[in-house]
Structure 1
Amino acid sequence: MVSNDNLKKLTNELLQLSRYAEEQFEQVKSTKAEVDFLTVVKPFVNLVKGKSEIWAENTKQWIIDNKPRNVHVKQIDSTVENLQLVSVQAFFPSTSRTRFINYIRSIDYVLNSVLKMKANPKE
C-alpha cells in the first residue's frame, strides 16, 4: 500500500495522462493521421494501465478504510476502465468526439474528487 502523499502524486499523474490523451485526441482529430500502434499507442496504453491499476488498488483500500461520502469503489473501477479506453481511443481519428470528451470529464471528476477527498477525508 502506498502512502497518502504517493497516492496524491499518483492521482495527479493520472490527471496529467488524461490531459495528454486529450491533447493527442485533438491533434489526431485535426490532422486525421493515425500513429504507429507499436511505438506510440502501446507504450502509452501500458503506462496508463500500470499506473491506473496501482492507483485503483490503493484508492479502493483508502475508501474502505476511511469511508468517504462522495467517492465509492465502483467509481474507481469505472475510472480505471475509462482511462484505459481513452488511452487507446486518443490516437484514432475515427473516435467519437462526444464520447471521448464525456470519458475525459468523468475521469477528471473522479480524480479531482479523490484529490479533494484526500485533503478533506470526511467530505
Structure 2
Amino acid sequence: MHAESKESLYERTDKLRKLNNEALNVYCGIKENSDNPPDFYEDVKPFADKVKACADKWKPLAEQWVVEDRPPYFYLKQIEDTHENLLISSVLAFQTDTKEKRFREMIQSIDYILSGIKNVLNE
C-alpha cells in the first residue's frame, strides 16, 4: 500500500475514533437528559450522516490495507463488522432505550479495532 494511502487510512481511522468517542458522549448525555429527546433532523441525522461519510471512505482503504499488507490479527471481516457497528452506534447513541452494556461493548469493540489499526500503521 502506498505511503499516502496509509497516511489517509491513519487520518480516517483517527477521525472515526473521535466520532466513536463522540457517540459515547452523546449516549451519556441522552441518558442523563432523557426528558429532552434529540430531534431527528437536527441531531441524529447530521451525526449519523457524518459518521457514514467518514466510515464509507475508510472502509475501502482499510480493506485494501488488509489485503495488500496482511497485518497480523486483522481480517476483512473485522473491517466489515467495524464499519457496520459504526453506522449502528451513530444512531443508537441517540436512543433512550439503548441498552447501556451492549452499547458500551460495541463502542469498545470499534475502538479496539481502530486503535489496533493506528498502532500497526505507526510501526
TM-score, length-scaled by structure 1:
0.93
Q: How many Å separate the matches in 2 of 1:106 and 1:25?
A: 16
Alignment gaps of 5+ in structure 2: none
Displacement after TM superposition at 1:57 (Å): 0.6
Corresponding position of 1:115:
118
Look up the match of 1:14: 16
Report the number of matched residues. Answer: 120
Identity %: 32
- Normalised TM-score (structure 2): 0.93
What are the within-5 Å matches in structure 2 for residues 2-41 of structure 1? 3-32=5-34, 33-41=36-44
Q: CA RMSD in A?
A: 1.3
User: Residues of 1 paired with 2:116 and 2:77: CA distance?
Assistant: 14
**For 2:62, which of 59, 62, 84 is the aligned residue?**
59
Deviation at 1:101, TM superposition (A): 0.2
Aligned to 2:81: 78
Q: Distance in 1 between matches of 2:121 and 2:73?
A: 12
